[in-house]
Amino acid sequence: MLVEAAKKNDRFPGFLIHDSHIFDGVDGRQIGLALKLAQSKSEQLGVQYIVAMNSDDLQKIKHEEEISGEEIFDPTEFIMSTRLSDDAGGGLFGIRF
């Protein structure tokens, strides 16, 4: 993987970020397996993996699990809730831009 090569050559910032677009049109089983691999590799390499994902993509994983009867990936412990507000103290995660 590119992350492994970059980390090995000491040219890696310590994190990898993906936007939800990477999973556009991908079925739930593949999304779950990709997240499972990313979680495993990031732990192995000691890096942080961040993905901005639409909640409907997470529902695709649950749907595939219900159909197959097998757990693919449970993202629950990795989900950070979004805090958005239009009031004066709002912003994204409490940060004003």
Q: Is residue 89 part of a domain?
A: no
The share of the chain scoring above pLDDT 90, in percent, equals 49
Q: Is residue 28 part of a domain?
A: yes
Between the ranges 31-40, 75-84, 87-96, where is the mean pLDDT highest? 31-40
Cα separation, 49 vs 12, in Å, equals 12
For residues 58 and 64, is the Cβ–Cβ distance under 8 A?
no
- Residue 30 is predicted with a pLDDT of 96
Q: Is residue 97 part of a domain?
A: no
Q: Is residue 62 part of a domain?
A: yes
Q: Over the stretch 46-84, which tens digit does the pLDDT of each residue have?
A: 999 999 988 899 999 999 999 999 999 999 999 887 766
Q: Is residue 92 part of a domain?
A: no
In this prediction the pTM is 0.77
Q: Over the stretch 7-20, which tens digit does the pLDDT of each residue have?
A: 888 888 888 999 98
- Work out the average pLDDT over 75-97: 73
Q: Is residue 95 part of a domain?
A: no
Q: Is residue 94 part of a domain?
A: no
- Residue 86 is predicted with a pLDDT of 65
Number of domains present in the structure of the chain: 1
Q: Is residue 16 part of a domain?
A: yes
Question: Contacts for 7-15 with beta carbons within 8 Å, 24 or more apart?
Answer: 7/45, 7/47, 12/47, 14/47, 14/48, 15/47, 15/48, 15/49, 15/50
The answer to whether residue 91 scores a pLDDT higher than 80 is no
- Which structural domain range is residue 49 located in? 2-76
